[in-house]
Amino acid sequence: MAGHGSKLGRKQEEAIACLLSHRKLEDAAKAASLGTRTLLRWLKLPEFQEAYRAARREAVQQAIARLQQATGIASLTILKLMTDANVPGNVRLRAAAHVMDYGIKAVEPEEIEARLDALERSTDQTKPGWRRN
């Protein structure tokens, strides 16, 4: 698309927008006032493919950002379900299990980083000329 430094025409940019907003290729082609064969041909062009990939990446990144903004509300919802005595037990148990799962998953990257640091230090020590600071 134009914002991505591509050299696509207005019609191709419109086709990419339609591809992003329609489930079926035929529907995207119709919305862009194109023939399906034309859109299929454009999808084989490297510059069109790159612009389409870039547009999809941007759309996904925006969607992920919106979800990340909602994590505070999501965590409050889980905690409310877990602690509300009026909520059925199976729902409270499921909410508690999610809290435990997310808590464990949050620690995993820290543990991996610590193990990686230790591994890097041990490989540095085996290099010739290594000195301890």
CB 51 within 8 A of CB 11: no
The pLDDT of residue 130 is above 70: no
Q: Residue 7: what pLDDT?
A: 80
Q: Residue 20: what pLDDT?
A: 96
Residue pLDDT, tens place only, 40-97? 999 999 999 999 999 999 999 999 999 999 999 999 999 999 999 999 999 999 999 9
End-to-end CA distance of the chain: 52
> Which residue in 52, 55, 58 sits closest to 39, CA to CA?
52
CA distance 21 to 17: 6
